[in-house]
């Protein structure tokens, strides 16, 4: 399978993978932390991911095998900035969904509006289920918020938002 010119032999720059996280979306999730982020938010928890030189270059085949070996968890893309490697992650999400039926959350320092205005970024949005959007804002930080770091960030139901053309928040109370 090839999607937008990307296949399993294509490469991606990652920071690492955490397995069975309960804090990066609903349920237990394997989290792929990609490398490189242009946002440089004050108070970022992962500043080691900002610099391109810190990335580990791996094939999508290798990431695919790592993310599907448990078979039990859904998947979250975090970073770093996932939308800086949008085509690679879009391929990965599509391929894993079609072969394993998992759902995908994606975190971004970009807003929903910025992402849908950029066709290069929108390809990833279309392959995911939930977006947590916006930069981390230290002054808007609040303790005990579920799945986000600051109040400006929104947890967005991607499918409903793309259907209606406006942001629909994800219902966390199901
Ligand atoms: S967008 Fe995320 S990874 Fe990038 S600087 Fe902000 S908090 Fe850190």
Residue 6 maps to a domain: no
Q: Which CATH number does the domain housing residue 99 bear? A: 3.20.20.70
- pLDDT confidence of 174, banded at 50, 70, 90? low
Nearest-10 crossing angle of helices 60-68, 86-100 = 40
Residue 94 maps to a domain: yes
Sign of CA dihedral 115, 93, 130, 47: negative
Residue 4 maps to a domain: no
List the beta strands (DSSP E) in the chain: 11-21, 29-34, 56-59, 74-78, 104-107, 130-133, 154-157
Residue 74 maps to a domain: yes
Select from 80, 83, 136, 150 the residue to mutate for testing ligand 1; criterion: most ligand atoms less than 8 Å from CB: 136
Residue 174 maps to a domain: no
Residue 104 maps to a domain: yes
19-64 per-position pLDDT tens digit: 999 999 999 999 999 999 999 999 999 999 999 999 999 999 999 9
Tell whether the model's pLDDT for residue 166 goes beyond 70.
yes
Residue 1 maps to a domain: no
Indicate if ligand 1 lies below 6 Å from the C-beta of 134. Answer: no
Contact status, residue 8 vs residue 14, Cβ threshold 8 Å: no
135-153 per-position pLDDT tens digit: 999 999 988 899 999 999 9
Contact status, residue 8 vs residue 2, Cβ threshold 8 Å: no
Residue 167 and residue 159: Cα distance in Å, rounded?
Answer: 10
pLDDT of the residue at 64: 97
**Measuring from atom 6 of ligand 1, which residue has the nearest CA?**
41
What does pTM read for this prediction?
A: 0.96
Q: List beta partners, residue 169.
A: 156
Residue 161 and residue 8: Cα distance in Å, rounded?
Answer: 29
Residue 77 CA, ligand 1 centroid: distance in Å: 13
Torsion angles phi and psi, residue 69, rounded to 5? -70, -30
Indicate if ligand 1 lies below 6 Å from the C-beta of 79. Answer: yes
Query: How many domains are there within the chain?
Result: 1
Residue 170 maps to a domain: no
pLDDT of the residue at 173: 77
Instruction: From the CA of 108, give the closest atom in ligand 1.
Output: 1
pLDDT of the residue at 124: 98
**Measuring from atom 3 of ligand 1, which residue has the nearest CA?**
80
pLDDT of the residue at 71: 79
Q: Domain of 20?
A: 11-164
DSSP state, residue 95: H
């Amino acid at each position: 399978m090839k999607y937008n010119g990307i296949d399993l032999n294509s490469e991606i720059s990652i920071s690492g993978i955490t397995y069975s996280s309960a804090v990066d979306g609903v349920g237990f999730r394997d989290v792929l932390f990609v490398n490189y982020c242009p946002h440089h938010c004050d108070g970022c928890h992962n500043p080691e991911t900002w610099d391109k030189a810190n990335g580990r270059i791996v094939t999508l085949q290798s990431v695919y095998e790592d993310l599907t070996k448990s078979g039990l968890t859904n998947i979250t893309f975090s970073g770093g900035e996932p939308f800086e490697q949008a085509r690679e992650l879009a391929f990965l999400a599509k391929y894993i969904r079609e072969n394993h039926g998992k759902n995908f959350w994606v975190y971004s320092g970009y807003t929903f509006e910025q992402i849908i205005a950029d066709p290069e970024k929108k390809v990833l949005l279309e392959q995911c289920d939930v977006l947590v959007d916006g930069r981390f804002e230290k002054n808007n930080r609040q303790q005990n918020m579920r799945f986000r770091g600051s109040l400006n960030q929104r947890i967005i139901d991607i499918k409903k938002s793309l259907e209606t053309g406006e942001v629909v928040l994800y219902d966390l109370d199901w």
